Structure 1
Amino acid sequence: MPIPEFIRTLRTKVGTDLLWMPGVSAVVVHADGRLLLGRRADNDLWAVVSGILEPGEQPAHAAAREVLEETGIVARVVGLAAVSSDAQTVVYGNGDRAQYLDLTFLCESAGGDPYAADDESTAAGWFAADALPEPLAPSTRTRIAHALRYRADPAAGAWFDRP
């Protein structure tokens, strides 16, 4: 997986020290109710599309960009479904450490047929919510649940862990 240039620049200054990273996830729903998932090249797990924001990028724009880049699907962002942070530090093979703040967006498909559109994915496809493929990334079921709850009741607003 390529490391974005701005992260590479940061890493020259902080080495492998922990970085706090803003990220987005997109739960994309087809008109028939199926969900878009991609199979990640880095860990071979099926997951909702996710990625980190570029400097200055609006989060909803990043979600739509990531969906198009990774799966070839044009996504229309409906709303913010959840805000969460990872409890664990991720340690990459090169020793880099990161923790992620995730903004999960509910999206609708606005066109395209899914395929592995970049080197971050090995496959992409539509799946019924009750027939998700395995192996599935641990956070995916939670992100889907938050998005489908928001879809059923947008007035409830985004999920977040309340103190």
Structure 2
Amino acid sequence: MTGHPILSVSVAGVTLDRDGRVLVIRRRDNDQWQAPGGVLEADETFEQGVVREVLEETNVQVEVEQLTGVYKNLQKNVVALVYRCRYLSGTPTPSDEAAEVLWTDPAEIIKQMAPAFAVRIEDALRLADGPPASRAHDGVAVYGS
């Protein structure tokens, strides 16, 4: 059918270690700090995509715990599903997509992130067993509750 917008689906993982630090990357393409993630492949589930993306970008193996938010970039027509993850193994290592990979204090790294990406970590930390967040953004500013 014509006239329908084409959306891209991405996934990201907000991973915490035993000390409560969050795993983040500084992306090579835009120099921004974000939770690791990327475009979902056609033949994988959301959860498989999160595990793959986190491993590819950080060298860290994770287990998906729960969906914490759904976010739409209104400028790029990208819908991102963000999951809270549990660290299993691996040492953070830079990759083709990540110039830096590190475990850091969530409150400190959130100050360095664009609001549209900081809110993903805030939502993952806030969410216990409540419903996932649903938000839209323009790549910087966040809209929605």
Q: TM-score range by the shorter chain?
A: 0.7 to 0.9
Give the aligned residue type for 1:27: V
* RMSD between superposed Cα atoms in Å: 2.0
1:1-163 aligned within 5 A: 19-89=6-76, 99-116=77-94, 118-132=95-109, 135-150=112-127, 153-154=128-129, 156-161=130-135
The number of residues matched between the two structures is: 133
The 1:57/1:80 distance shift into structure 2, 3 A limit, reads: same
Deviation (angstroms), 1:64: 0.8
8 Å CA contact 1:46, 1:134 repeated in 2: no
Deviations, residues 79-99 of structure 1 (Å, cap 9, x unaligned): 00011211223xxxxxxxxx2
Deviation (angstroms), 1:129: 1.3
Give the aligned residue type for 1:157: P
TM-score, normalised by the number of residues in structure 1:
0.75
TM-score, normalised by the number of residues in structure 2:
0.84
Deviations, residues 108-129 of structure 1 (Å, cap 9, x unaligned): 111111011x311111000101
Note the residue ranges of structure 1 that are not aligned, 5 or more in a row. 1-17, 90-98
Partners of 1:26 and 1:134 lie apart in 2 by 19
Partners of 1:52 and 1:100 lie apart in 2 by 9
Partners of 2:60 and 2:19 lie apart in 1 by 15
Moved over 6 A (4+): none
Deviation (angstroms), 1:137: 3.9
Deviation (angstroms), 1:133: 7.2
